[in-house]
Amino acid sequence: MTMKPQETSVKLAVNLGGLAMKNPVTVASGTFGAGKEYHDFVDVATLGAVTTKGVSLHGWEGNATPRIAETASGMLNSIGLQNPGVAHLKADELPWLQSIGATTIVNVSGHSFDEYVQVIEALEEAPVDAYEVNISCPNVDAGGMTMGCHVPSVEKVVGMCRAATKRPLIVKLTPNVTDVAEIARAAEAAGADAISLINTLLGMAVDARTRKPKLARVVGGFSGPAVKPVALRMVWQCAGAVSVPILGMGGITTGEDAIEFMLAGATAVAVGTANFMNPTATVDVINGIIAYCEEQGVADVNELIGGLQC
């Protein structure tokens, strides 16, 4: 039975930097494919948006295995942005998303500044509603340093992407920085229409019996409920630092988790790791938001954005 959100009189629509969403819930890139894999469980067209797995110009093979490890209240991954490339996305997934009436955010990845632009240029004629620029990629031009950790490289990549499209441009921030608000301000100044955060924290896991790391690459991206307090803090900091809307994510499992992010300043939220535990997590979160609003007498979810009293 494919799940859909329940009927309600609560107004759920939000506007994320020019992207009209029927409700505030999308998915975190890389946890949902392009939606096909989950369509047996939830009607993906009823989500606020579907955010695709990161796409690059040409296919990437990804990292060696093992590349997923479970941790207390979370998981580690070092998938390495494996994807079949932008041509496959255009030929296969995007037409399918369009055919079911989904709102589509394409997560854009690249190893160089030019590659981001080339991916966007390749998608400009495709049925895409917004781009999410993943600046957590290592920049091969700059010795492998993560683009999103360095203000000048953030300004450069966002500025180049901005020049390539008039579509809403969401910039996804890495939490692995000293001052996330500084990075958010740089992205806004370079033309971002919205900011999304957080991407995964850097973590590792050790097998004491084999005395070896649990991931082939030793370190990986840490996500799941355990990161939620860090994610909430960073969303709240960025909401106070920029005027563009924020897409908040990091450990959201329930509707109440989503409400917490909205109160901290997020306009919309993304459900990520929860999809692995519960394939109906997205619709469960939408229904949880509805239940909260009905119980609290909230007529429009937009009333909640930035409503934290502190």
Which whole number is the average pLDDT over 168-196? 97
Task: Tell me: cis bond preceding 24? Omega within 30 of 0 counts.
Answer: no
142 — pLDDT class (breaks 50, 70, 90): low
Asked whether 51 and 107 are in contact (CB, 8 A), the reply is yes
pLDDT at residue number 136:
84
Phi-psi group of 182: left, alpha or beta (phi > 0 → left; psi -120 to 50 → alpha; rest → beta): alpha
Q: What is the helix (H) or strand (E) element at residue 270, kind and residue range?
A: strand 268-271
Interhelix angle 281-296/255-263, rounded to 10 degrees, is 60
How is 149-202 classified by DSSP, letter by letter?
GSHHHHHHHHHHHHHH-SS-EEEEPPS-SS-HHHHHHHHHHTT-SEEEE--PEE
DSSP string, 18-80: TEEESSSEEE-TTSSTTSGGGTTTB-GGGSS-EEPPPB-SEEE--PPSP-EEEETTEEEE---
Catalytic residue among 137, 161, 238, 293: 137
Q: Determine the Cα–Cα distance for residues 92 and 85; give it in Å rounded to an integer.
A: 11
Q: Is 238 a catalytic residue?
A: no
Query: Which tokens is 39 given?
Result: 């369509």
- With 0-12 / 13-18 / 19 or more C-beta atoms within 10 angstroms meaning exposed / middle / buried, residue 205 is middle
Inform me whether the pLDDT recorded for 140 exceeds 70: no
- pLDDT of 297 over the 70 cut: yes
Q: Tens digits of per-residue pLDDT, 50-97?
A: 999 999 999 999 899 999 999 999 999 999 889 999 999 999 999 999
pLDDT in tens, 201-241: 999 999 999 999 999 999 999 999 999 999 999 999 999 99
Query: Apex CA 171: angle with CA 199 and CA 226, to 5°?
Result: 15
Residue 143 has pLDDT above 70, yes or no: no
Flag whether the pTM goes above 0.85. Answer: yes
pLDDT in tens, 107-123: 999 989 999 999 999 99
Q: Is 141 helix (H, G, I), strand (E, B) or coil?
A: helix
Short-list 285, 265, 231, 225, CA closest to 26: 285
User: Average pLDDT of 261-266?
Assistant: 98
